[in-house]
Structure 1
Amino acid sequence: MKEFIVYTAMRIGLFLASFGIVVGVMALVLDGRYNLFWAIVLAFLISGVASFYVLDRQREAFARRVEARAAKASAAFEQRKAREDED
């Protein structure tokens, strides 16, 4: 669960930083005006691409944790199934 929280918090932080940069650049270029919709869209795109490279280690840790939990659940299921077959 820790990996999920860390990865999600970092994704949110990356989005907020991207949003701040996009709004700042738009405000500078457009004399203090910016379109909120396009600022959000650009921030999502930028943070998505950046997270692919920047958060690779956290994403891998999260994927390993999910895979381990799935394997454990699958093994427990197979064990219960084998016990039912014995009866």
Structure 2
Amino acid sequence: MKEFVVYTALRLLMFGATFGVVIGVWQVVTGEITSADVFWAVLIGFVVSGIGSYFLLNAQREAFARRVDERASRSMQRIQAKEDVD
């Protein structure tokens, strides 16, 4: 569970930072921000943070995947042990 929380928090933080930078640059360049600008800033923030997290959060994603794999393996062992008893 800890790995999930860490990875998710880092993804949200990365998106927030990316969105903040995009909206800040947009404000400096255009001088105003409309609702359409916010939409595009969110879209750009999602894309850039997604690409960035693929490279920057690889270790956290791997730890999360290992944890999920361990839990799935334990669950399958319990199911097989129960089937062997029956």
Q: Say yes or no: TM over 0.5.
A: yes
Give the TM-score taking structure 2 as reference length: 0.94
Q: 1:38, 1:45 → 2: CA distance?
A: 11
Structure 1 residue 29, shift from structure 2 partner: 1.1
Structure 1 residue 77, shift from structure 2 partner: 0.3
Q: Which has the larger radius of gyration?
A: 1
- The 5-angstrom pairing of residues 8-87 of structure 1 reads 8-34=8-34, 35-84=37-86
Q: 2:24, 2:32 → 1: CA distance?
A: 9
Give the TM-score taking structure 1 as reference length: 0.93
State the 4+ residue runs in structure 1 displaced beyond 2 angstroms: none
Q: Which runs of 5+ in 2 are unaligned?
A: none
Aligned-residue Cα RMSD (Å) equals 0.8
Q: 2:33, 2:71 → 1: CA distance?
A: 48
Q: How many residue pairs end up in the alignment?
A: 84
Aligned with 1:32: secondary structure?
A: coil
Q: What CA deviation, in whole Å up to 9, does each residue of 1:7-42 have, x standing for no partner?
A: 000000000000000001111111132511101000
Q: What CA deviation, in whole Å up to 9, does each residue of 1:39-77 have, x standing for no partner?
A: 100000010000000000000000000000000000000
Q: 2:13, 2:31 → 1: CA distance?
A: 27
Q: 1:79, 1:65 → 2: CA distance?
A: 21
